[in-house]
Amino acid sequence: MLKFHGLLLGGSLLAGLAAPAVLAREPQAASSPAPAGDARARAEAVVARMTTDEKIALVHGLFPPMANGKTKNELIPSAGHIDGIPRLGVPLVRESDASLGVANQVEQRKGDVATALPSGLATAASFDPEIARAGGAMIGAEARAKRFNVLLAGGVNLTRDPWNGRNFEYLGEDPLLAGLLGGAHIAGVQSNRIVSTVKHFALNAQETGRMVVDARIDEKALRMSDLLAFQIAIEKGRPGSVMCAYNKVNGDWACENPRLLTDVLKRDWGYRGWVMSDWGAVHSTAKAANAGLDQQSGQELDKALFFAKPLKQAVENGEVPVARLDDMVIRYLTGLIETGAYDAPMPATAEAISYDQHAEVAQRAAEAGIVLLKNERNLLPLAASAKRIVVIGGNADVGVLSGGGSSQVRSVGGAPVEVPLAYGAASSFARITYHASSPLEALRKALPGVQVDYVDGRNFNATVEAAKAADLAIVFATQWTTEAQDVPDLRLPDHQDALIDAIATAQPKTVAVMETGGPVLMPWIEKVPAVVQAWYPGQRGGEAIANILTGKVNPSGRLPITFPASAGQPPRPNPVGLETMNSLEAQAAANPANAGNFQFQSFPVDYTEGADVGYRWYEKKALKPLFPFGHGLSYTSFAYRKPKVTGGRTLSVTVEVTNTGKRAGADVPQLYVVREGAKEPMRLAAFQRIELKPGETRRVTLTAEPRIVADYDTALPGWRIAGGRYRVAIGHDATDRKLTAVTTLAASTMKP
Ligand code: BGC
């Protein structure tokens, strides 16, 4: 992996990466001498037998691409490596990125493929924790077989801005949805007796200037939004580790922020595992250690090896208490013990993987997450009457797009299209990469007897002619996004809007399939009768798209993120700091000898929307989005009837859900709630995905998450349900108010 983010490493380093240095065989972990029982007690007993040097060695990790010679163990090119202590049974740890599959960013492990799930937003769009869990379990199994035992795999940062380059990795804009699905994903990974990491703690909400930005927000709002997503994910998934973020939060770096790391995470939430830094996110020794950072990751990427010798000195001179160093190590071991990683050594050599079975997991996730945004005149599923179909653009003849950065998987089947970046913050470790799953081929297979042609869309007039000549056109729109860079605006790049507009003008039966990182503007929406949001659909994306278009699979995804109608609707129209960054980059490029003088300085972003993220912002500002959060069509229809609301100590609703159409399908009834009279938007308090046969009715019970009903009270401190009358809506999306009811709740409080 060639990073990094502001540290831009040169191409020469890349050359050294191809062949991993095999220095020695990894020692077999001895059977643990630690007493059985409570994980922390067991960790304490091991740490009690350690020398100071042994403790220090466990709290800073190597960055394999830059760590040659620093270990006698085999150094697999990946994100991180921490030697074990064989005499005490402490296992060697190998870390890999793995949000969407075991990552292999710029193919630093030549030929090492893995199964690529669709993007996080696609999984979130399933509104199904089981889909998230299965994806995590699949990734964990592959990681273990490849000898990784700590995965950097659980991004739950809330989407505050639709232009964030990393939205595709995360789980959308709602804390309950992101928390529940993030937790399920983590639990799935850890079912393989390895660790998953929840990240990036916290408020790493934009990529522009991510290493310097100061994210500002008040505590109440933070607790009720981004932190709540983490809190729920941690409760549900019990991750062995938490990764602190690059940015500052309210003036203090996230990785040396005592409020976040010690007060919130460890004290209020009782978190027992360890806090690892993001790669290149550490700025100090004593301050960071005393604030609650337990481990410096990828140490070569920081300005200093803060948690190596300097930490030892800080402990010796009393700046960092011995008890704190012990706690750092105890937490590391607790995370390993609780997840089972401690007692389940990695295989000595890579093991075989059931890639075929795993591809099914990826396909199921893609099919559950694709969202049918619009379907006028039931243009979809593709009617048998379409005898000549033209597929246009998006490299749909060879594959499907994926997102860039540390989560990049080199998928089974390889990369039919791979474009390096000439410049930009991501250029050292990201390439525009397609997975080898061709929607064109899948459509041809699914539609025997239909002539399915392909034009790549580069010749504008010829493309429009081809659309006109066919019975129906399917145009693939792409927007590549990546870690380390935000998209400059929400328009599709490369004049795709003009092309789609012209195609739809020439061919009234036009379907747009969107392979985008997140929401884009759709200036042509009135002209295009059917729009399918396919996200980055993963290594079986082509098959999944074909199944949705042909109706073999009934679409069931729901938007986990609002699609704005115009750039001016979201709280911030463009990435904050982008202009400054562009100008600094240009100046640095023009003055290579003094490039260091043009560094990005810290700058604030005030999250004035507070906890009213996403759909809540739209309701608060009375804005009508293009497509609301929770929206998604089906080839059948669903009705909600006879709601019964129960109040008292908990709020729950039972409602009859009926499939009123002619096809089996899945629906996601959503429960939104707000205190009567409060001038606040409604919040998603519960949801459930259910499958119904045609005509089938089921009663569903939706029980509100109490912390969504409550407000955070900093004076208490804790969650407070004010009590009184609460209004609920049982809806198909965040704006659906056709079925509402009122109930009375008792006042109550909950711990932070
Ligand atoms: C990213 C993390 C990732 C780490 C290791 C960082 O740049 O922000 O998400 O886990 O690198 O690759």
The pTM for the full model equals 0.95
CA distance 157 to 166: 9
Structure confidence at residue 612 as a pLDDT band (50, 70, 90): very high
Residues with catalytic roles: 278
Measured from the Cα of 298, ligand 1's closest atom is 5
Phi, psi of 15 (to 5 degrees): -60, -35
Pocket test for ligand 1, best of 97, 186, 300 (most atoms within 8 A of CB): 97
- Confidence at residue 19, expressed as pLDDT on a 0 to 100 scale: 30
Task: Tell me what the mean pLDDT of segment 620-638 comes to.
Answer: 98
Structure confidence at residue 376 as a pLDDT band (50, 70, 90): very high
Using an 8 Å Cβ cutoff, are 712 and 220 in contact?
A: yes
pLDDT 10s digits, 89-141: 999 999 999 999 999 999 999 999 999 999 999 999 999 999 999 999 999 99
Cβ contacts of 549 within 8 Å, gap of 6 or more: 380, 381, 382, 443, 474, 511, 513, 532
pLDDT 10s digits, 239-248: 999 999 999 9
- 78 CA to middle of ligand 1, Å? 11
Measured from the Cα of 105, ligand 1's closest atom is 12
Tell me: pLDDT of 492 over 60. Answer: yes
Q: Write the residue with the smallest CA distance to atom 7 of ligand 1.
A: 279
What mean pLDDT, rounded, does the chain reach?
94
Q: Write the residue with the smallest CA distance to atom 4 of ligand 1.
A: 279
- In order of start, what are the domains of the chain with their CATH numbers? 34-339 (3.20.20.300), 359-550 (3.40.50.1700), 638-750 (2.60.40.10)
Pairing, β 150-155 against β 195-201: parallel
Token pair recorded at residue 126 = 């399933």
- Confidence at residue 36, expressed as pLDDT on a 0 to 100 scale: 42
pLDDT 10s digits, 135-154: 999 999 999 999 999 999 98
Q: Which residues line ligand 1 (CB under 6 A)?
A: 1, 3, 5, 79, 97, 152, 199-200, 278-279, 406
Name the one residue in this structure whose structure tokens are 């393989």.
192
Q: What SS3 state is found at 295?
A: strand
- 586 CA to middle of ligand 1, Å? 26
Pocket test for ligand 1, best of 108, 199, 278 (most atoms within 8 A of CB): 278
Dump strand ranges (E) for 576-682: 604-606, 638-646, 652-659, 665-667, 670-675
Token pair recorded at residue 89 = 């049974």
- Confidence at residue 384, expressed as pLDDT on a 0 to 100 scale: 80
Range of lowest pLDDT (7-16, 24-33, 644-653): 7-16
- 71 CA to middle of ligand 1, Å? 22
Q: Write the residue with the smallest CA distance to atom 6 of ligand 1.
A: 279
Q: Write the residue with the smallest CA distance to atom 11 of ligand 1.
A: 279
Q: What is the dihedral of CA 610, 614, 619, 620, to 10 degrees?
A: 20
Measured from the Cα of 197, ligand 1's closest atom is 10
Q: Write the residue with the smallest CA distance to atom 3 of ligand 1.
A: 406
Q: Write the residue with the smallest CA distance to atom 8 of ligand 1.
A: 278
> Can you name the residues that pair with 687 across neighbouring β-strands?
670
Token pair recorded at residue 580 = 């400054």
- Using CA atoms, how far residue 530 sits from 376, 377, 475, in Å, is 6, 9, 11
- 152 CA to middle of ligand 1, Å? 7
Token pair recorded at residue 77 = 């090119």
Tell me: pLDDT of 2 over 60. Answer: no
Measured from the Cα of 103, ligand 1's closest atom is 12
Q: Write the residue with the smallest CA distance to atom 2 of ligand 1.
A: 278
- 301 CA to middle of ligand 1, Å? 11
Q: What SS3 state is found at 673?
A: strand
- 467 CA to middle of ligand 1, Å? 43
Query: How many H-runs (helices) and E-runs (strands) does the chain carry?
Result: 20, 31
- 166 CA to middle of ligand 1, Å? 11
CA distance 181 to 189: 12
